[in-house]
Copies of this chain bind each other. A is one copy, B any other.
């Protein structure tokens, strides 16, 4: 199995199998889906508010984010996506998208047309269950973000976001423990936490000054996982990745 010819949807299969066992037949059905590869620059959209979602993008490389805008034009980022994640399950069964999905960095996506994917989800119970669980976990993350933005102060808020991102990257083997690149500007970080970029800058400096993190460009190093976790009030329960809680030494 030459990796150059490996079906990129393997990445999706692996992701789905994290929450739900699939049979060989299920796997084959997923891998049999038609798809089209597309390379996107930073800021490229995979879906815009108001569009009819007629395809589902799977993020193969690079990072993406979800956001929506107020009538005044203020932006709120509501999720960050890492490679392997399906970007459009959230919209796939709805008539029109209620938010935007955009690339944070340049990257590669596989676009699966909606009809065969919908068909697959409804006819293969294990796949359907996996997709349902995947969307429920995403919803759980939305809830945690609401809590984060509504009820934590700026320092905890940012520490929490740093922890979540580190945890997810590490859990999926995308980065060594405690050191990673945060692929966002401070302005995007502000839009994800309900703050301004000026304040984000000051909070980051504060975390560094207090010896919780080290920064070099966008690389972040956690000096002590326990301490940053406590500052961020981060409890990974809401990620529903129980098996990881042991697999990685973060906790």
The answer to the question of A167 belonging to the interface, with a C-beta cut-off of 8 Å to chain B, is no
What residue in chain B is nearest A147 (Cβ atoms)? Answer: B76
Taking CB atoms, residues of chain B closer than 8 Å to A147 are: 68, 70, 76, 78
B136/A142 in contact, CB under 8 A: no
Among A75, A90, A150, max chain B CB count under 10 A is at A150
Which one of B49, B72, B152, B240 lies within 8 Å of A70 (CB-CB)?
Answer: B152
A194/B151 in contact, CB under 8 A: yes
The answer to the question of A145 belonging to the interface, with a C-beta cut-off of 8 Å to chain B, is yes
B233/A70 in contact, CB under 8 A: yes
Alpha-carbon separation in the docked complex, A220 to B178 (Å) = 51
B237/A96 in contact, CB under 8 A: yes
A-to-B contact residues, CB < 8 Å: 49-50, 66, 68, 70-72, 74-76, 78, 90-91, 93-96, 98-99, 121-123, 125, 128-129, 131-133, 135-140, 142-147, 149-152, 156, 191, 193-194, 233, 235, 237-238, 240, 242
21 contacts between A and B (CB under 8 A): A68-B143, A70-B151, A70-B156, A72-B233, A74-B151, A78-B143, A90-B140, A91-B136, A93-B129, A93-B133, A93-B136, A98-B238, A99-B140, A121-B132, A122-B129, A123-B125, A131-B132, A135-B136, A142-B142, A149-B194, A151-B194
